[in-house]
Chains A and B, each alone.
Chain A
Amino acid sequence: MATSTVRARPKAVVLQKPGRPRMVVYVFGRYIRIAHWVRNGLLIWLVLSGIYIGNPFLARNLASEASDIFIMAQVRGWHVIAGWILLAMTLVRIFQFLFIRQDGKLGLGAELRMAPVMFSWRAWRDQLAFYLLMKRDHPHFTYSNYGPLQYLVYTMLYASLLVISVTGIILAAPYLSSGIAVWSADIMRPIEVWMGGLANVRAVHRFVMWFFILFTVAHIYMAVWNSMRTGNLLIEGIVSGFAAKDDDVHARPATDDELEPAAKTAKKSPTSEKQPPKAGGKH
């Protein structure tokens, strides 16, 4: 999917900068990029409107009759609509994660198969060493598009999106008399009881919002940092679709110390041989 293009696009461009990745390839498909920025917009709106719902900060309008204005009702309404859109996109993404194979067909999801990266001591060591500036090169995981840290954080991100959606739907239902929110809240009643009533559901909703704010700050920093440190053009990539393939072992002769761990990996973990390194990938 990543490399499918409608118009004729250059699939790869050779860069000239010494010591930096040499290939620019199309890594983020159109849907991925649009979805990324739509989600970004939805999140900003959900946080702002959510804070208003929690403690309304807009000045009140006493010039109009209460029956003529619907400030809170509209903020709540658009909050919930944005929430549903975000949930729909999240479900598509989770489906893709779980069930879409590398070749685009249904099956055990390609990304789900990358989970071992999270449990590899070696992967953690390499990645943390890179982030803690103890190693110059971005670790290359032949069997995973993600490093262990990304894998963990993105999994948590989607789990939190589910939690905030579930709590949001439970909070939305009492305002409505029928519809999807009402019947899904009916099904999720045990969750509401387990949480201990609407007040706690609301508290959970708010804590998860803080997780998103923290995630966003960390995510932006990491992406910018990565992009600058490795020259992989990730930031440009999420806009244009093109990023540099970082650490492309095939684009230049491998150095000695790159060969050594590679030889070890080949012996120790056969998984690294199963799948050839892919062109597409988000780091």
Chain B
Amino acid sequence: MNRPHTQTEPPAQAPTQEHSPREYYERLAAEADAHMDRLEAKEPLKELTLGTLLKRRGVTRREFLKMVAVTTAALSLPSIFDLRVARAAELATRLPVIWQELQSCTGNSIALLRNANPGVDALLLDLISLEYSEVLMAPSGQAAEDVLEAAIERYDGQYIAVFEGSVPVADGGNYLTIGPAGHTGIEIVEHISRHAAAIVAAGTCAAYGGIPAARPNPTAALGIADFLNTRRINTPVVNLPACPVSSTNIVGTILEYAMFGRLPQLDAFGRPLWAYRDRIHDKCERRSHFDAGQFVEGWNDQEGLKRGLCLFKVGCKGPMAYNNCGVVRYNEGTSWPIMAGHGCIGCSEPGFWDTMTPFEEPLPGRVYPLPFGLDADADTIGAVALGAAAVGIAAHAGATVVKSALEQRQAKQEPPKKEQ
């Protein structure tokens, strides 16, 4: 288990004030058990069971439990939940999921699929009842459309809708049309969301608009939650931003839903607290160098790079980005950007792209759009204003000198006033 603190720290969902952590977790476990009993009573939607899957994949039960323990820790849950998470994985065959691509690069699907080793993530993908996924399914065209319609009808109000990509709303939504009938992204998201039990916005584009929403946002791209707000659809949404979102965070969210039947506690930007409570900076292995003022000075600073100094001066946005990359890491926990030697680019934050560029300079380097192509960063704008003030002051001071001289001459020529 790579996060010992999760043992003692009360989890995000905790109404902790009234209960001791122990009591709290016991209640939480009871809630999970009750929900999973209900779920177990339902018919599985798939023939496949966890046992056959493990056998097919050549994974022993022991290995599987080890993998589950990692996921449990990532979920900020103590080890009494290990077996419950395993049970949730087993019951995932009863969870219908519709995975809809929108204005996206399918990077999040790819990140989930390209797991070299059979981790829980890959297993879960086989286990959940993925009713519709353009990337994975065999049917296409009208046949695919029929599958989607059938799934929506059959699991009305029960399925989880996972969206990947943003919704372009400019030009009546015509920037994104899918399928033989040419439905726009707007129509598709409205339709799927109205009948879903819960929505997972996978990746930054689905969460906040992401790269398509970067200035000047020609397609007027919106994240799912923002879009649904404009349509007054209030199906609950979990945002799982990052580019791409780590498979642990997707799988964790789905397992959590299977376990409790409800969405996790979210932060102010709609992200699950168990994954996005801390900043990259708070869990960064280079942090001691930040506090010490030891920074990599540039990409040719061999010594700094070799010593693993803090990447702040080469643009790390870790202090502004909430995510758990440094804890769960990518590619089966092999590495993550800062470990590999590049700063965080803050991909899991709202406004990502515009608010985080330039990626390889500290934040004051951000360039703001100004009229007449005079785009400039804050310091240039400030310095120009200061220069203008200096010119104004010089002009005013000069004028004052001239004026005073004139006044004095006038005073000499004119006869003094009565009393002087």
| Interface residues in chain A, defined as those with a beta carbon under 8 Å from any beta carbon in chain B | 18-19, 54-56, 58, 60-62, 64, 66-73, 75, 131, 133, 136, 174, 189-190, 192-193, 196-200, 202-203, 206-207, 209-210, 213-214, 217-218, 221, 225, 229, 252-253, 255
Cβ of A276 to closest chain B Cβ, rounded Å:
25
Q: CB within 8 Å of A: which residues of B?
A: 268-269, 279, 281-282, 288-295, 297, 303-304, 307, 309, 312-313, 317, 319-321, 346, 349-351, 355-356, 362-364, 366, 378-379, 381-382, 385-386, 389-390, 393, 396-397, 399-400, 403-404, 407, 411, 417, 419-420
Most chain B beta-carbon contacts within 10 A, residue among A58, A75, A213: A213
Given contacts A54-B364, A197-B320, contact A210 B385 (CB under 8 A): yes
Q: Which residues of chain A come closer than 8 Å to B404, judged between CB atoms?
A: 229
Q: Are B349 and A197 closer than 8 Å at their CB atoms?
A: yes
A-chain residues with CB within 8 Å of residue B268 when the two chains form the complex:
189-190, 192-193
- In the assembled complex, which residues on chain B have CB atoms less than 8 Å from the CB atom of A19? 411, 420
Q: How far is the CB of B288 from chain A (nearest CB, A)?
A: 4
With a CB–CB cut-off of 8 A, which chain B residues contact A54?
362-364
* Cα(A198)–Cα(B351), bound, Å: 10
Are B295 and A66 in touch, CB under 8 angstroms? Answer: no
Q: Given A55-B362, A196-B355, A217-B393 in contact, is the A72-B386 Cβ separation under 8 Å? A: no
* Distance between B229 CB and nearest chain A CB, rounded to angstroms: 13
Tell me whether A66 and B382 are in contact in the complex, defined as CB-CB below 8 angstroms, given that A133-B399, A202-B320, A214-B389 are known contacts: no
Whether A196 pairs with B350 at a CB distance below 8 angstroms is yes
- Complex alpha-carbon distance, A193 and B239, angstroms: 15
Q: Which residues of A contact B397 (CB under 8 A)?
A: 221, 225
Tell me which residues across on chain B come within 8 A of A203, comparing CB atoms: 355, 363, 366, 378
B294, B355, B356, B362: the one within 8 Å of A60 (CB): B294
Which residues of B are found within 8 Å of A190, using beta-carbon distances? 268
* Complex contacts, B307 vs chain A, CB 8 Å: 62
A174 with B279: CB separation less than 8 A: yes
Q: Given A62-B307, A199-B320, A217-B389, is A229 in contact with B400 using a C-beta cutoff of 8 Å?
A: yes
User: Could you list some 6 contacts between A and B, CB below 8 A?
Assistant: A56-B312, A60-B309, A61-B293, A193-B268, A197-B349, A199-B351
- Tell me if A71 and B292 are in contact (CB < 8 A): yes
Is the beta-carbon distance between A253 and B419 smaller than 8 angstroms? yes
> Which chain A residues lie closer than 8 Å to B355 at the CB level?
196-197, 199-200, 203
Nearest chain B CB to A256's CB is how many angstroms away? Answer: 10
Given A199-B351, A207-B378, A229-B400, CB of A66 within 8 Å of CB of B313 = no
In angstroms, how far is the closest chain A Cβ from the Cβ of B253? 21
B390: nearest chain-A partner, CB-CB: A217
Given contacts A62-B307, A133-B403, A213-B382, contact A72 B291 (CB under 8 A): yes
CA distance A214 to B312 in the complex (A): 28
Contacts of B403 in A (CB 8 A): 133
In the complex, A127→B383 CA distance in Å?
28
Give the chain B neighbours of A133 by CB distance below 8 A.
Answer: 399-400, 403
A214 CB contacts on chain B under 8 angstroms: 382, 385-386, 389
**List of A residues within 8 angstroms of B303 by Cβ:** 62
B389 touches A206 (CB 8 A): no
In the complex formed, the residue of B with least CB distance to A217 is B389
CB distance from B309 to the nearest CB of A (A): 7
Determine how close the nearest CB of chain B comes to the CB of A230; give it in whole angstroms. Answer: 12
Cα distance, A253 to B418, chains bound together (Å): 11
Which of B288, B312, B419 counts the most A-chain CB atoms under 10 A from its CB?
B288
